[in-house]
Amino acid sequence: MPTTVRVALGQRSYDILIGRGLRRAAGDFLRQSAEASHAIVVTDDNVRPLYGEAFASDLRALGFRCDILSVPAGEPSKSIKHAEALWHDVSRLGCDRRSTIVALGGGVVGDLAGFIAATFMRGLPFVQIPTTLLAQVDSSVGGKVGINLPAAKNTVGAFWQPAGVLIDLDVLTTLPEREYRAGLAEVVKYGVILDAPFFAYLEQHIPEINRRDPAALEQIVARCCELKARVVEQDERELTGVRAVLNYGHTFCHAIETVTGYGQFLHGEAVAIGMACAARLAESMGRVKSDFVLRQRELLEKVGLTTAMPRLDEGQLLDAMRRDKKAERGKIKFILPMRLGCVEVVSDVDPELVRKVL
Amino acid sequence: MPTTVRVALGQRSYDILIGRGLRRAAGDFLRQSAEASHAIVVTDDNVRPLYGEAFASDLRALGFRCDILSVPAGEPSKSIKHAEALWHDVSRLGCDRRSTIVALGGGVVGDLAGFIAATFMRGLPFVQIPTTLLAQVDSSVGGKVGINLPAAKNTVGAFWQPAGVLIDLDVLTTLPEREYRAGLAEVVKYGVILDAPFFAYLEQHIPEINRRDPAALEQIVARCCELKARVVEQDERELTGVRAVLNYGHTFCHAIETVTGYGQFLHGEAVAIGMACAARLAESMGRVKSDFVLRQRELLEKVGLTTAMPRLDEGQLLDAMRRDKKAERGKIKFILPMRLGCVEVVSDVDPELVRKVL
């Protein structure tokens, strides 16, 4: 039986369905959640041969009109250039307001396809079918969509909630090792920011996590979705600071991704490094003890993530942080831990302390 | 005393202020409606020397940080190319979520700047200060923002309500004659679709209208804003058909604009032709009598508008109509009159009848 997590947002409420073999239930899910008869599947060149074509055939067999569009795999596809190409493609395909965009892929595909859905004809329904661990536990839920500018990540976008999220855990079996480990960074993040018992659960199940044990994965994905749904419900548009906690590690992470041109690190890899930076920054401010920093680092490393800061230009990193969406009037904000399971938004951090952790 | 029209949309409610000499009150308006301290004024090359620089200076004198950006005047600026340039500019200027975008110009500037506001950092506050009659009575109110694709008008965009609309009637004194007359097309439209007494008022005040009599203009602009506000309140996202009535004449109009490459006709000029087409289509279906068609044509012509359909390729026009946002599953929808002051959405119009009015 699939697990259902409801995201309660009034008229914009939707279900996250988590289970196995769910791809085959996508037709029903599309009909129920988006009342669709024409689906435009947006995917990438890796996922298309693995799942995309079969998925489109299944939908056609169920009587859907179904088109499939793909972009190169990887963060550089979250660009104006690819958004423009997709807008033209969707227009050429005779898409109308009864059409539904289906994002079948990882976070890059979800963010890009979601941005097309948010903006084409001033907004089309869309459904997320995330195929990476990172997208399943984080980016497919909550309605943040967008593309990058060369100067700053996710700078152009919208809050546009999906009509539904369908998480098929089976697809994780074909996920490359590096992508899988990158996703675990966001999993660990949920423990640090919101749920100390979940963090302890992860510490106690490292062998299961590393061999992708199905039962452990189902628990983990469902718990992360549940935690994220509760945060998004409280602060859909990131206005009150509640939702901002999800950006733990992300001020550093986005700066690393921006300075390295979006190609070198996977998002989750940069999140792991960013979390390590945020923990050290908090320690240097006397907010947490060294045992917190150590415990977080050990868990990240045991699930195969690197936490050491790469050698990058300090000035460029600080510039990129100042263009972060959380910055206000030139002051960078950080999400910093108080203790395991609890973080807060902190403005006015001494730039000298930030420089020291870079 | 300025007239205030409230647009009641829950958390997204805002005021339209209509009066004379209001540009000088913009600082207070910005502070009250958007809590702004950093304004990014987006304008065009015509408006910038007339009002833009002085406006920016006024804001700076009041303690605002104020930047000014401009695009070439005219519909071709509602393009991905110009949106991209503005996204880069706004990022370079260190815009954050406390910055406010101010659209100072006509419909093109309002739609483009509003789209930047809707998408930069997933949404910034914006204020409309419309400087054409068309923008004052129509495009600055209601939150429709967007850009054109070569294949179809307003295809990429969002519903993004302004934090406020400031209408200074004084700016109409410098408006070129052609722009002024184009705006009157939308004014006449309100009478036809919603308000027969207002249509009669227009018929009775043609000399005042043609000489831009200040008292008549104030009445006209306020009435149009009032009518539009009530429609938008009932159907903000154009879901129920209530808001669709504002698109009277626009299925033809958008096709004309698309086929002529957005350069030949001003939007209002194409609206006048589109209204004439819609009226003739309704007549050919037996929905209205010839006296309706005649009365509408006479008023449009008396305020200086052409209603004759230009010679354009019929096939191209029909193709463009099929890509209209109102089309569903390939069927074009039209907004057609039942009598003066009342129109309805009609699907399933015989394409042969459409062809005849082209």
B228 and B186 in contact (C-beta within 8 Å)?
no
Q: Is B81 on the interface with A (CB under 8 A)?
A: no
Pull the structure tokens for residue B261.
Answer: 């490459």
* Listed residue (A124, A158, A112) closest to A30, CA to CA: A124
Active site residue B88: no
Residue B325 clears pLDDT 90, i.e. is over it: no
Q: In which band, very low, low, confident or very high, does the pLDDT at B34 lie, cut at 50, 70 and 90?
A: confident
Active site residue B82: no
Residue B176 clears pLDDT 90, i.e. is over it: yes
Q: Which of A98, A156, A329 sits opposite B328 (nearest CB)?
A: A98
Instruction: Identify the H or E element spanning B63.
Output: none
Give the span between the Cα atoms of A137 and A222, in whole angstroms.
Answer: 8
pLDDT in tens, B177-214: 999 999 999 999 999 999 999 999 999 999 999 999 99
Q: In which band, very low, low, confident or very high, does the pLDDT at B87 lie, cut at 50, 70 and 90?
A: very high
The total number of residues written for chain A in this structure: 358
> Which range (A66-70, A248-252, B39-43, B327-331) has the least confidence?
B327-331
Single out the catalytic residue among A82, A181, A254, A325.
A254
Q: Is B119 on the interface with A (CB under 8 A)?
A: yes
Q: Determine how β-strand B342-346 pairs with β-strand B334-339.
A: antiparallel
- pLDDT on residue B294: 97
Single out the catalytic residue among B23, B82, B179, B186.
B186
Angstrom CA distances, A152 to A78, B203, B214, B269, stand at 12, 55, 48, 41
Task: Report helix, strand or coil for B276.
Answer: helix
Q: In which band, very low, low, confident or very high, does the pLDDT at A160 lie, cut at 50, 70 and 90?
A: very high
Q: In which band, very low, low, confident or very high, does the pLDDT at B32 lie, cut at 50, 70 and 90?
A: confident
Give the span between the Cα atoms of B138 and B132, in whole angstroms.
Answer: 10
For the whole model, what pTM was predicted?
A: 0.94
Chain B residues inside the 8 Å CB shell of A144: 122
Give the span between the Cα atoms of B269 and A349, in whole angstroms.
Answer: 56
Bridge partner list, A166: A17
For residue A200, the tally of other CB atoms under 10 A from its CB is: 15
Q: Which of residues 217-276 of A touch B (CB under 8 A)?
A: 237-238
Which residues contact residue B252 at a Cβ distance below 8 angstroms, ignoring those fewer than 6 apart? Answer: B270, B273, B274, B277, B278, B317, B321
Give how far the C-alpha of residue A43 lies from the chain's centroid of Cα atoms, to the nearest Å: 16
Give the minimum alpha-carbon distance from A119 to chain B in angstroms, rounded to a whole number. Answer: 5
Pull the structure tokens for residue B193.
Answer: 């679709």
Pull the structure tokens for residue A108.
Answer: 């890059």
